[in-house]
Structure 1
């Protein structure tokens, strides 16, 4: 009975994607390949024994910290791997390649994530299980058979000089203009720009210190005259004491986040129907 239900569920799931002829062929293929096999429902009752994967995950995160990964990256590993283990609800050594495929398929189907995000998730999973195998926590790496997700490459070009001027004209605040000028002048990532403090700007030498997200390396970048002008104008308008270079427009004037900058840039671009630049 379990086998028949399995075939039925597959056919129902695919009926909107296949023709009647293809569905009939699929049903025959399933019947032939499942013939002689015993299909049993896997026990998914709550495992009450110690979740030993938690200790192993902590060890893994400690290793990533020693590799000088950023805290945001480490937190992303923690959240994604915890969600995986809690969803599968199996001991680490019992997880199979099919379990991982099932998890990724369900995750994509339910959350409608992009192929790019799916590949990122696969990378996080593969990185952990590869490490766990090398360290001897498990005998085999179930993620080794997960194929890399092919992500269509979309070429994002920077704004032209004319487009940048148009964006500055419609920007609501001097802060937004200063942010756009700094992104263009430094070619920095949004995550790097939000981490900059006022003291990182050397106005006398027209330089700024950028703290890289990858490996936490810092570098000095030369600023254009336009960027210097708008930074000075923006900072002169500030009335708060927050050391952050860019802050929110309203009290308590907290450090601006990456999401706020992305939202601002998208809204401005949508207003004049411009493509998204490479640093969004």
Structure 2
């Protein structure tokens, strides 16, 4: 056991020092790891007990070591957004629970941090769902530490998540979709809402999609999901094809992105720009409700199920591992179908 763990520690230390000293990227570090592992396979290590004990690392040094190791071993496997959320949670934890090493954190430290996190904004407490998200980020980080053999147990797992009353899933009715179309003033406005409606993509997937990715014969688009690091095919229906193509044909810029800003150098329309555009469209349409990118994803999943698509098909088209995720978070219950079933039950009992 000592031999194996020591070899892993040596490999980690070499990679971390190479990353810091030479600025090696993920690919170069992976090659270096393979080289070092191949060499260490032939070596047996023994613990040296005759030399004086090595001075223990300070708290700051120990925590920097863990974060540095995370940066070269785990971070490259995550999307930028996920990685940022994990690191923000851990750095906040270290700010609240001071002078303590990450490898020594226990469940009481986690509880104390989460109590602070709930009331960090004196004017408004964080909701239970927000608290559970923060707990999940920490749990994922400490799970990585456990798998990396930095700790033996994950202290976050001993802290129960908060009870959450799940609200009904928000989605657009077909009537609301028609009203929203009335708020479109530009070709981009209409193309944007039809694209989101027809594909059900995440906003991050819109940003990185290029217009060359569209097969105009079939309406197929191969999109990459940074969240899951997977590809899937989504589709433009006949209405969406017309409006997206009309918008793209009207552009004179050289930006290959699917949607671009109007001003300046016509840079890619980012998350905030898409949200702002949808908010303006809804305002012009006189809608008294929030309209945001993920609303179209909820709508897409709900309409798919209403059309009779199977659970597996819905999960595939939304980029989920299984239908449980789609059903829990994205597919609203069809009140009309439930009412019809209840009426049928009543007639059968007469």
**Alignment TM-score > 0.5, same fold:** yes
Deviations 1:208-266 (A, max 9, x none): 12212333211222211111111111112222211111112211222112232233334
1: CA distance, partners of 2:81 / 2:216:
30
Change (3 A) 1:213 1:116: farther
Residue in structure 2 matched with residue 103 of structure 1 by the alignment: 113
The alignment's TM-score, normalised by the length of structure 1, stands at 0.74
1: CA distance, partners of 2:152 / 2:201:
42
How far residue 157 of structure 1 moved from its aligned partner, in angstroms, is 4.0
Deviations 1:193-221 (A, max 9, x none): 22211111121332212212333211222
Residue in structure 2 matched with residue 224 of structure 1 by the alignment: 237
The alignment's TM-score, normalised by the length of structure 2, stands at 0.60
1: CA distance, partners of 2:115 / 2:129:
14
2: CA distance, partners of 1:208 / 1:158:
23
Residues 194-213 of structure 1 correspond to what in structure 2 (within 5 A)?
A: 194-213=207-226
Deviations 1:94-130 (A, max 9, x none): 3222221121121221233332222111001111123
Residue in structure 1 matched with residue 78 of structure 2 by the alignment: 69
1: CA distance, partners of 2:127 / 2:281:
24
* Contact 2:205-2:226 at 8 Å conserved across structures: yes
Structure 2 segments unaligned to the other structure (5+ residues): 1-56, 299-350
Q: Confirm whether residue 260 of structure 1 aligns to residue 264 of structure 2.
A: no
Residue in structure 2 matched with residue 174 of structure 1 by the alignment: 187
Identify the range of structure 1 (231-240 vs 83-92) with the bigger mean alpha-carbon deviation.
83-92
For the aligned residue pairs, the C-alpha RMSD in angstroms reads: 2.5
Deviations 1:121-170 (A, max 9, x none): 10011111233234331344321211112222122243222211211111
Residues 139-158 of structure 1 correspond to what in structure 2 (within 5 A)?
A: 139-158=152-171
